[in-house]
Structure 1
Amino acid sequence: MAIPPEEDNPVDPAPRVTGRASAPYQSGRASVGRASVGSSRPSGAADRPSAPPRSSAPAGATVAGAAVAKKRLKPRWGRIALVGTLALALLVGLGGLGIYLYANSFNNKIGRTDPFSAITGDRPPKIVDGAFNILLLGSDSRDPDAPVDQAGKWRTDTIVFMHVTADHEKAYLISLPRDLYVHVPASADGQYGNTMAKLNAAYAWGGLPLMVQTVEGYTGVRVDHVAVIDFAGFKAVVDALGGVDLKVEKTIKSVHKPYRTFKKGTNHMNGAESLDWIRQRYQFPDGDFARIRHQQEFLKAVMDKAVSTGTLANPVKLNNFLNAVVKAVKVDKEFDLVSMAIQFRNMNSGNLVFLTTPHLGAQNVNGESVVAGDKPKALALYDAVAKDKVAEWVAANPPSPAPN
């Protein structure tokens, strides 16, 4: 069943741009904050590449990615890239049960892409053996069969950098705002990039290879794997679980058809309802950042349900869930689900830590609203990621409380 387009996030074909050349990697340190940002601008300011954040939120808040604008088009879904870890969550249970042949059958079913072979130039080195990083992207396309490794066909509205510790006991999911102002290297054909832009422009201009290059250039950390989630099929994943329970902090009415009312308290939601809930932003003082907070709560609820006894002990429900996941996910060629099952056998949602790349909120650059990175904090965070010392960074940088 098709999911209705998201009216508040038009996606557009990428404009051709040129500009500053890509800066080199800096000895494993993050190459963040390469451009200065201007004065603050209200969240309703001009937003040529994408809809701006609704507010200037504290560095502990979260926000999703953006589309690049020239001509307005109606998109499909591009939210919730955090849910890419669902494949890993289900494999936690499979690894614990030792059903490796069963897992291998889904290993053969899942879609594959090759984001790394097209990357030219130097890449950040791998520093800590055993630790690895997965770039999770929520993607949507007007052509479901479009290759994700090429420009122009796909858009990403959510970008998450997932760091798995060397002992495989914990994973840190770092949200990168869609409007984060970064340097995008030149695309393979030379037509786009080589300029400062909003982060998700990289995907529109050069597909997965350019997105990987841009994220590696910004963080200074090597990407080991990529998982792309097409959310047109994700509603079926939630329905296969029998729905999820989500906390609604205040009663609101959806701004999207059929204009559901979400009542304060714990709500049991099916696929359509839960995806509608985590799309809402206008009703909250921190706008896009509230939306990502709800996405994280949604991810935890889905993961808990996925590895619950009620799912793992029910062969029909488990099989339906697994089939729904593999239909909605594409991974790189080296991503081995059976190996992941073994490595993640001791992990559950309690082992996930949600973060956001340090930022200064919405600011104005050349007449458009962007999210400005917090250079000193970002340098420290990604240095900790590269050295597998994120726990120390988190202890020194507790998250800011969400606004009421």
Structure 2
Amino acid sequence: MLSIPRDTKTTIPGYDSNPHKINAAYAYGGVKMTDATTTQFLNGIPFNYYIKINMEGFRDLVNAVGGVDVVNDKDGLTLASQSSEGNKKVFNKGKIHLNGEDALAYVRIRKSDAEGDFGRQKRQQQVMSAVAEKALSTGLIWRFDGILNAIGDNIQTDFTMNDITRIAKDYRNTLSNVENLQVKGEGSRIDGGPWYYVVSDAERARLHDELAENLGMK
């Protein structure tokens, strides 16, 4: 599982040759350009499927599986802005149960986390793994079309129901063996302009090689 920081410096194929933040690819060309940009950034790692989900869809997805349990390793994590429920969210260390609204707050926290954006990425990965585990352990994955219908326009994917059930069957025992990768780089302003997260060619090559090994690519 890999999260790419939104401010990562890259070029966007099919747009222009200037440097951009990688999250601009979606604004400029949607899923197709995001796919091409991320594949280029990872030196040719392909993406076979996509799931696009907004914040409301993320909240609804967690609710659709009945909430999730996670272990928070930091005390006093606080979302500075208020949630849509109008309450400030504070999460203390230990095992916690998250409904959709809580989960959305939990994965958005950055400023009160000493790890900043990397801590947020870890929580995003943690919750998504918990959602997958809950869907598999309760059998909800076999009715995933109903979950998609419940979430509605807040989620889009090119997975078919056959794809989902096949993957669930083949990989249901692998959730305890998920490897979390981190993109290593340094923050920098380029020529006095915008702030970027700059990733070296060597680091991109390392990520490519690790992903390629896991994917069985030559």
Normalised TM-score (structure 1): 0.46
Q: Deviations over 1:150-183 (max 9, x none)?
A: xxxxxxxxxxxxxxxxxxxxxxx22211111111
- Per the alignment, residue 194 of structure 1 pairs with 17
Tell whether the 8 Å contact from 2:77 to 2:109 is kept in structure 1 after alignment. no
- Per the alignment, residue 195 of structure 2 pairs with 369
Pick from 225, 236, 240 the counterpart of residue 60 of structure 2.
236
Secondary structure at the counterpart of residue 113 of structure 2: coil
Tell whether the 8 Å contact from 2:13 to 2:37 is kept in structure 1 after alignment. yes
- Per the alignment, residue 303 of structure 1 pairs with 132
Cα separation, partners in 2 of 1:330 and 1:183, compared to 1, 3 Å: same
List aligned pairs for 1:86-165, cutoff 5 A. Answer: none
CA distance in 2, matches of 1:276, 1:186: 35
Secondary structure at the counterpart of residue 220 of structure 1: coil
Secondary structure at the counterpart of residue 198 of structure 2: strand
Q: Deviations over 1:206-233 (max 9, x none)?
A: 2223222222222222333332123322
Secondary structure at the counterpart of residue 256 of structure 1: coil
Tell whether the 8 Å contact from 2:69 to 2:97 is kept in structure 1 after alignment. yes
Secondary structure at the counterpart of residue 224 of structure 1: coil
Q: Deviations over 1:266-307 (max 9, x none)?
A: 111211011111111111112111101111111122122111
Amino acid at match of 1:224: N
Amino acid at match of 1:342: R
Secondary structure at the counterpart of residue 346 of structure 1: helix
- 1:391 to partner: Cα distance: 8.5
Aligned pairs, number: 207
The answer for unaligned runs of 5 or more in structure 1 is: 1-172, 188-192, 393-404
Runs of 4+ in 1 over 6 A off after TM superposition: none
List aligned pairs for 1:33-72, cutoff 5 A. Answer: none
The structure with the larger Rg is 1
Cα separation, partners in 2 of 1:363 and 1:384, compared to 1, 3 Å: same
Amino-acid identity (%): 26
- Whether 2:204 is the aligned partner of 1:381: answer no
Pick from 32, 36, 48 the counterpart of residue 224 of structure 1.
48
- Per the alignment, residue 124 of structure 1 pairs with none
List aligned pairs for 1:322-401, cutoff 5 A. Answer: 322-324=148-150, 327-332=153-158, 335-348=159-172, 349-357=175-183, 359-367=184-192, 368-385=194-211, 388-390=212-214
Cα separation, partners in 2 of 1:277 and 1:381, compared to 1, 3 Å: closer
Normalised TM-score (structure 2): 0.81
Amino acid at match of 2:117: D
- Whether 2:135 is the aligned partner of 1:312: answer no
Structure with the larger helix share: 2
Pick from 273, 280, 284 the counterpart of residue 109 of structure 2.
280
- Per the alignment, residue 180 of structure 1 pairs with 8
The answer for unaligned runs of 5 or more in structure 2 is: none
Amino acid at match of 1:354: N
Cα separation, partners in 2 of 1:378 and 1:205, compared to 1, 3 Å: same
Secondary structure at the counterpart of residue 207 of structure 1: helix
CA distance in 2, matches of 1:374, 1:199: 15
- 1:325 to partner: Cα distance: 5.2
